[in-house]
Amino acid sequence: MDLSIYPLLYHCGFWAGLCFIVSTITGNVSQVDKLWSITPALYAWQIVFSSDSLQMRMVLMAILATIWAARLTYNFSRRGGYTWPPWKGDEDYRWPILRKTKPLNNPLVWMAFNLGFISIYQHFLLLLIVLPQFVAASAPGKDTITTLDLVLAMAFLLLVLMEYIADQQQYDFQTEKYRLKGKGLALYGEYKLGYLRTGLWSISRHPNYFAEQSIWAVYYLFSGTAGAGWLNASVIGPVLLILLFQGSVAFSEGISAGKYPEYAEYQQRVPIFIPTNPALYQSFWNPTGDDYATAAAAATETK
């Protein structure tokens, strides 16, 4: 029996509708953020239990999606992402800025944007990134786990680890920066600059986002090992996710460049996602940034 996509679409539509209603009532459009790390794992297990038989590749993919979800949910939670009642809490700092730009400063236009992009499109995207599992569940080799599946699983876990390390470094940095500010102490080093530029952030401006995009690219490859073809319709999920990150990061970096005078230099020197400049690796494990100037000069010379 072939799987039907409709139960997944109904599930997705429920969350999209709920987020639109709650965000419209509260004025806080960050409701999707609270579910971003949760719904893909729910979809993954829904596919597992909707199959006519227990398929080990489907279980493996669902377990991987759950590990990703648990890690990201934890990170979102410790930053104050969840409150009680759940519809309250801080709104992503980018939405108020975007809300002031034309034509989104028109209330009706903003409501349409909230419905079409924030609520419906983003939730649909969260379903699309899990679509490779749906495709794999009906592929010719759906019942057999291969060595390549295990290699992909290991790559997935390593990318989750990379994302964890990047987020941890950013969390430690922001915690210390605001501790210094809260106690009225003088900021120094990169705390004075205002942004993190050491550790993984010395070789990529957004190592966590690089890992996130790569995670779902690897997830897509499971559909290929199942026999659905290395290029199939479910590629739309990771492709659209990558495109979303391009736009989102470009907007965020515009804010950072306006906020931090030295950020433009950082942009010129360090790749936005993929850590492709080997000259930057000498400051990779430097926690204080003392070698940053040397690494920066070397990186500039390689261009």
What is the torsional sign of CA 24, 26, 27, 33?
A: negative
For the residues of 186-221, what is the DSSP string, one character each? PP-HHHHHTS--SGGGGT-S-HHHHHHHHHHHHHHH
- C-beta neighbour count of 54 within 10 angstroms: 10
Backbone angles phi, psi at 32, to 5 degrees: -60, -35
State yes or no: pLDDT of 292 exceeds 90: no
For 173-232, write each residue's pLDDT tens digit. 999 999 999 999 999 999 999 999 999 999 999 999 999 999 999 999 999 999 999 999
What is the average pLDDT score of the chain? 91
Q: Which residue has the tokens 């719904």?
A: 39
The stretch 16-45 carries a mean pLDDT of 96
Q: What pLDDT does 53 receive? A: 81
Q: From CA 30, how far away is CA 67, in angstroms rounded?
A: 23
